[in-house]
Chains A and B, each alone.
Chain A
Amino acid sequence: EDKVVQSPLSLVVHEGDTVTLNCSYEVTNFRSLLWYKQEKKAPTFLFMLTSSGIEKKSGRLSSILDKKELFSILNITATQTGDSAVYLCAVGTTSGTYKYIFGTGTRLKVLA
């Protein structure tokens, strides 16, 4: 059975800290791994990763994929209170039909 597991489930840090969120997966026919940030409504797209070892970066956020070890990490440096959200990892797979399997999410709270 395909599955995506994120850790930790929740995290509380102070402004300025650096956090690393983990996403591991076991799927057949892996196509891509996507990171999303979800605040009150629908998730907003952060990164899409398809190749191992290539870091994607956007401001204070960065992410990398390891297709051999089947995991990805999302790093946030110099955290701010506005980074407080649930971070979701989703894996695109073509086992059966093309679909995305979401992880459990990591709830991040950044304290001032």
Chain B
Amino acid sequence: GAVVSQHPSRVICKSGTSVKIECRSLDFQATTMFWYRQFPKQSLMLMATSNEGSKATYEQGVEKDKFLINHASLTLSTLTVTSAHPEDSSFYICSAALWGTQTYNEQFFGPGTRLTVL
């Protein structure tokens, strides 16, 4: 099956620093990648949709200058949390969509990154 990796799995940083999270599709080319955020005991909230070679589409209420997304290739998307603050502490999960006649609707999740901002 399709494999998506995410790095790092866990990061602890000081307030005011920037953190970069990488999402890679390991065995397929992902035209579209999604970034989600999940607070404890809550569901996944879509932050943005990232298409290779174009600007990300952010959901309402998500600050694009705060959460920078780059999708430079068909296998890599990055999310940078700029000037992180404690309220940015959360579980960030990426997923990659596999396009094809049978599986164009599927998305495959990375293992997630737990960010703690002190």
Asked whether any CB of chain A lies closer than 8 Å to the CB of B63, the reply is no
Total A residues in contact with B, Cβ cutoff 8 Å: 25
One of B11-19, B74-82, B109-117 at the interface: B109-117
User: For A45, what are the chain B residues with a Cβ–Cβ distance below 8 Å?
Assistant: 106, 108-109
* Interface 1/0 per residue, B76-118 and A, CB below 8 Å: 0000000000000000010101000000011111111000000
Q: For residue B2, which residue of chain A has the nearest CB? A: A45
Q: For residue B114, which residue of chain A has the nearest CB? A: A41
User: For B93, what are the chain A residues with a Cβ–Cβ distance below 8 Å?
Assistant: 42-43
A102 and B44 contacting across the interface, CB-CB below 8 Å: yes
Asked whether any CB of chain B lies closer than 8 Å to the CB of A71, the reply is no
Which one of B46, B95, B106 contacts A48 once the chains associate, using CB atoms below 8 Å?
B106
* Interface 1/0 per residue, A40-55 and B, CB below 8 Å: 0111110010100000
B49 and A42 contacting across the interface, CB-CB below 8 Å: no
User: For B34, what are the chain A residues with a Cβ–Cβ distance below 8 Å?
Assistant: 99-100
Cα-based distance from A90 to B36 in the complex (angstroms): 13
A32 and B43 contacting across the interface, CB-CB below 8 Å: no
User: For A34, what are the chain B residues with a Cβ–Cβ distance below 8 Å?
Assistant: 105-107
A104 and B43 contacting across the interface, CB-CB below 8 Å: yes
Asked whether any CB of chain A lies closer than 8 Å to the CB of B25, the reply is no
- State the Cβ distance, A99 to closest chain B Cβ, in Å: 5
List the interface of chain A (C-beta within 8 A of B).
31-32, 34, 36, 41-45, 48, 50, 88, 90, 92, 96-105, 107
A-B complex: 6 closest residue pairs judged by Cβ atoms: A32-B105, A42-B109, A102-B44, A42-B112, A105-B43, A102-B43
